[in-house]
Structure 1
Amino acid sequence: MSTRTVDLEEPADVAPDAPARHLAPLYAAWVVALVATLGALFVGEVMGQAPCVLCWYQRIAMFPLAVVLGIAAFRGDRGVRVYALPLAIAGLAVAAFHALLYAGIVSEAIEPCGAGPSCASADMTIFGGLPLPYLSVSAFAAITLLLVRRFDRKRA
């Protein structure tokens, strides 16, 4: 008869026997968050584009996701959805509003920007015309979908 010891440092939802392919969406979500975080830092610090108010709110959601998803991916933490999905959804909501404002669909009268760069400025582009608000929506949507996909499957 074999007995299994439990490591007290290991979270309850960690599945050490889970195949690596089951963690692929989690790793992919982490890579998206990491690339988005590094991209935001590059645009702000290297290119010198000051972030608008809505960009700051999106950073508040994205930067922790890069850390949280990275730790969860390497630990195989199946409980990551509880604390990562709310951040991803909140960031997606702000990014969607920002994209609508940038596209001119949302009225300038309810623009949340005060001092600082305009949230709908034409210079909010990178790589020859890709609007930053649209890239942000794409990143948050991808992370949200990967987290939902990751946990829609039955546990092994």
Structure 2
Amino acid sequence: MNNTKTAVAENNQPWNLLFITWILATSGTLISLFFSEIVQLPVCVLCWYQRIALYPLVILLPLALFPFDVSIIRYASPLVIFGWFVALFHVLVVAEIIPEAAQPCVQGIPCSETHFNLLGFINIPVMSLITFSLLGVLLFLAKKSFTENT
């Protein structure tokens, strides 16, 4: 425990990276709630799975910031990895690479429809994949930065 406090006191980079990770997870959560609750876009099954992976990070990450606890990376990483794979699957569904028979979506709310498109290729599944990719990179960098300083 003393080594953790000493390492953080000498170098705030792991703490800063976890804080940025929390900001990104919180932003993703607020954006997903904006699209579903304010804009009233339907939420498909794959979107719900991605939310299940993202929303707990908003609560877990700040718990590890005060006081700093690097072991949160061990607990946050499985959520990020799960969310990344679901987001990748969702992108492949939208790109029509995954056959319709393999899609877990329910009738009336298809996962292959995109209700929001920015620049012709940035849709909600792509934004989710980018978010989970950034979360994974930030967690990796935080872990690497911490282990280099201890």
TM-score range for the pair, normalised by the shorter chain length? 0.7 to 0.9
Q: Give the fraction of aligned pairs with identical amino acids, expressed as a percent.
A: 34
Secondary structure, aligned partner of 2:42: coil
Q: Report the Cα offset of residue 66 of structure 1.
A: 1.3
Instruction: Determine the structure 1 residue equivalent to 2:149.
Output: 155
1:73-126 deviation per Cα after TM superposition (whole angstroms, max 9, x unaligned)? 332111111110000000101010001111112112211101341101032x15
**Unpaired runs of 5+ in structure 2?**
none
Task: Give the 3 Å change call, closer, same or farther, for CA 126–14 of structure 1 in structure 2.
Answer: farther
Correspondence for 2:22: 30
Q: Contact (CA 8 Å) 1:13, 1:79: kept in 2 or not?
A: no
Whose radius of gyration is greater, 1 or 2?
Answer: 1
Could you tell me which runs of 5 or more consecutive residues in structure 1 were left unpaired when the two chains were aligned: 1-11
Which among 34, 49, 55 is matched to residue 63 of structure 1?
55
Residue 5 of structure 2 is matched in structure 1 by 16
How many pairs are equivalent? 144
* Structure with a larger share of its residues in helix: 2
In structure 1, distance between residues paired with 2:12 and 2:123 = 35
SS in 2 for 1:15: helix
Q: Secondary structure at the match of 1:136?
A: helix
Q: Deviations over 1:33-75 (max 9, x none)?
A: 0000001111110010120000000000000011111222332
Residue 138 of structure 2: which of 142, 146, 154 is its match? 146
- TM-score w.r.t. length of structure 2: 0.87
- State the Cα distance separating 1:127 from its structure 2 match: 5.5
Distance 2:41 2:19 in 1: 29
The structure whose RCO (Cα within 8 Å, separation 6+) is larger is 2
- SS of alignment partner, residue 15 of structure 2: helix
The aligned residue for residue 129 of structure 2 is: 137
Equivalent residue letter for 2:102: I
- 2:44 maps to a residue whose letter is C
Residue 75 of structure 1 aligns to a residue in which SS?
A: coil
